[in-house]
Chains A and B, each alone.
Chain A
Amino acid sequence: MALLKISEPGGRPAAPAHSLAVGIDLGTTNSLVACSCGGSVQILPDHAKHELLPSVVHYREGQAPLVGEQAKAAALVDPGNTIASVKRLLGMSAAEISSMDRVGRYRLDATRDAGAPAILTAAGPKDPVQVSADILGVLVERAEGCLRGKLEGAVVTVPAYFNDAQRQQTRDAARLAGLNVLRLLNEPTAAAVAYGLDSQDQGNVVVFDLGGGTFDVSLLSMQKGVFEVLATGGDTALGGDDFDHVLADWIASRAELDKPLDALSHGALMHYANEVKHSLSSDETVALSYADWSAQLDRQQFADLCKDLITRTLNTCRRVLRDAALTLDAIDNIVLVGGVTRMPIIREAVADFFGKPPLTNIDPDKVVAIGAGIQADVLIGNKSADNFLLLDVNPLSLGIETMGELTEKIIPRNTTVPVTRAQEFTTFKDSQTAMTLHVVQGERELVSDCRSLARFELRGIPPMVAGAAKVRVTFQVDADGLLSVMAEELSTSKTAQIQVKPSYGLNAGSIEQMLKASHEHAESDMELRTLKEAQLEAAQLIDAITTASEVDGKLLEEHDSQRIAAGIARLEEAVAEENSVRIHELTEQLNRISSDFAARRMDLHIGKALRGESIDDAEHPAESSESP
């Protein structure tokens, strides 16, 4: 928890001298960490001055995992214990992982629930959240070494097209690595921020983000520091790796290699294909030689091989333009993100499609981390947030299953977040007293074609004739793109509420457990850190409430202010006793007790604008147009 207090709602938090906050690009192929220091954002390097950390983890028995270059090297000799491109596995079921793992490289832990798969390694079963956390841990260490201090917060980027399960798991991984996540930020938005603040651009920008394993296109409008995402689209199963696969398959068939390849030869072939792909970015023609086969490959041939992949990316651009209701000539700039966009065949295809060359002055591998670093600096309070705001959208429609296994969309895709939307449903049988709500995400009509996010039940509906009960289901998506759902029977006010956790993933309990386990094993002073954080969080809250009461005490009823005073006293006691769990509980409790007061204060101060008071009333004869 960062240590800022709100001195006045709506004003900027009074920040300490400088809080350490970083932006992290947790990539499929490489990961980076960036920090704003002295006005510019720097990518933080490791001891050997490497900025990119390969997102590869190698597990060893009884030893700490290797992450990065060393793990990448280990992949060649010990592929079974080396996990690469783990980002592609986030949010996946066991069946999905098996179907993606074409060469049977990974053995899955059979004792695990199919919804929460883990890969067996020499260091025990590891699920995608743990593997991601191991990568993040190295970045945290790197940042804390470079910056000589504890990190107080981080912005972690995710592909705009990530679904709820993938977002949740990314956040869980960050928590597991001990990070305070200020915000999950969509990668294309981060890239636009990196470019926008450099050039103070205005206008419409397309971000074309082709990463190792995912593809995103976002269309943003930039106006006076406000970045508004108009539409986003993409493909979570398309990336630079696919170009390697196309090339590897072509080489395998030309060189008449035995099929199927074992894990070791497959790894070697993929490695070679990747090298060839890189050579084709600088050379027009590459001489190939693999085993006892040799041939020539030029860029045009390569472009032809990859034609389907390139067409898929351009079709996504078309859909995004249509969703934003804009035509090609309304696009002012195109930003390229991801190392894959260095490929000349991609740059040419993009330039042809948009009729103008894309911007390339920021390194496409670093642009996302840089944007995240800027946003982290703003959110932690180091930089003024006046006129700097990101308005993002939810990338996939959210809905609920209705009769006939059909999806009823409640929040369509490309709706600006945060968003709250409610819909009413009714019973279909006489005397029906319970209702199961199945929350799904996706664009298709049939529930089975969408991703299932959660199921929960609303019980205790009073028996009535079919169609008489009224159940209001409310969906709320926060600024991170995470969903919570609430259902309420209107005649009895029976409620059921759920913070949607991915069906494929860990529940809150297992995350807590893993956190605990990692604390116990870590040599660091996690426990002390937890206590310090809890104490500081408590102090911050008490301070905020005390200041607020001084300014706006008149908003409080006598018994409210007594309850708040008692809550503060209890919390202060717990702080003195140094019991972090108790401090945490009481902080939550005080938060709840004071929530009404906070809402009233928010309404009084910022809410003025929403009540129309900050807008000149004389300007609008609103009342006169009402029907007589």
Chain B
Amino acid sequence: MQQINKNFFQLFGIAEIFEVDQESLAEKYRGLQVEVHPDQFANAPESEKLRAVQLSSYLNEAYGTLKAPLKRAAYLLSLHDLNVEQVDQAELGMELLVEQIQLREFLEELPEDESALAELESLKSEVFRKLEQRQQSFSSNLEISDLIAAKKNFNEMQFLSKLLKEIESGEEKRMGY
């Protein structure tokens, strides 16, 4: 399989920074997909269809990565040769761990019925606000190439995103679906 030697940012012709204009990204994605999607080769020889699947897959992967803030952040770090899978306990810092434990305890202690919905909603906006702050810091860290701080902010973003998901599934359980 022949590789495509453009990274995800280069593919869309955009700067390798955290801030990405989603609307223009989506438009470029659709334009490129119109050119390479296998449906455009429905009657072409097998080999061309196969290549279209490869190109279209790569494009989907790129778009899926740049669209989602957390995936985009991880990808940016990987472009700087940082391994995002590896997390050092010391890297996280006590402060974050304590904060996380507290938030989680609070979540677990909420009553298991609809009476907890208001609390969940306010917790959700609090976590969301924190997440946005971390994203902004991450973006500025990268701008000045402070990769250590960027990685730390990334770890925090990961924690907060996971927590958001748990809050949402807690909401759903209490609403009965």
Contact = CB atoms under 8 A, between A and B. Distances in A.
A610 B14 contact: no
Nearest to A317: B177
Contact of B30 (A2, A226, A609, A611): A226
Contacts of A620: 9-10, 13-15
Interface string B20-35: 0000001110101111
B73 interface: no
A226 B59 CA distance: 15
Contacts of B32: 609-610
A183 B42 contact: yes
Contacts of B41: 6
Question: In which size bucket is the chain A interface?
Answer: 35 or more
A389 interface: yes
A541 B11 CA distance: 31
B158 interface: no
Contacts of A386: 34
A606 B44 contact: no
A309 B43 CA distance: 43
- Majority SS of interface residues in chain B? helix
Nearest to B30: A226
Interface in B1-56: 2, 4-6, 9-17, 26-28, 30, 32-48, 50-56
Contact of B43 (A4, A476, A615, A619): A4
A241 B70 CA distance: 43
A479 B37 contact: yes
A319 B46 CA distance: 38
A398 B26 CA distance: 26
A418 B33 contact: no
Contacts of B117: none
Contacts of B64: 415-416
A409 B44 CA distance: 33
Contacts of A600: 2
B43 A622 contact: no
Interface string A410-423: 00000111111100
A271 to B, nearest CB: 34
A610 B11 CA distance: 6
- Majority SS of interface residues in chain A? mixed
B15 A419 contact: no
A9 B52 CA distance: 11
B147 interface: yes
Interface string A1-29: 01110100110010000000000000000
Interface residues of B, number: 56
A188 interface: no
Interface in A378-392: 378-381, 385-387, 389-391
A380 B47 CA distance: 18
Contacts of B53: 418, 420, 476, 478-479
B51 A602 contact: yes
A228 interface: yes
A534 B31 CA distance: 35
A612 B10 contact: yes
B119 interface: no
A563 interface: no
A358 B61 CA distance: 34
A3 B51 CA distance: 20
Interface string A474-504: 0010110000000000000000000000000
B43 A13 contact: yes
A228 B30 contact: yes
A420 B168 contact: no
A300 interface: no
Given A4-B43, A419-B61, A602 B52 contact: yes
Interface of B: 2, 4-6, 9-17, 26-28, 30, 32-48, 50-61, 63-64, 79-80, 145, 147, 168, 172, 176-177
Given A223-B26, A415-B60, A418-B38, 16 more contacts: A319-B177, A378-B39, A385-B39, A389-B39, A390-B39, A391-B33, A416-B60, A479-B37, A599-B2, A603-B2, A603-B51, A607-B4, A607-B55, A616-B13, A625-B17, A627-B80
Q: Which 3 A-B pairs have the closest CB atoms?
A: A615-B13, A595-B47, A315-B177
9 contacts: A4-B43, A182-B42, A223-B27, A223-B30, A415-B64, A478-B53, A479-B37, A479-B39, A599-B51
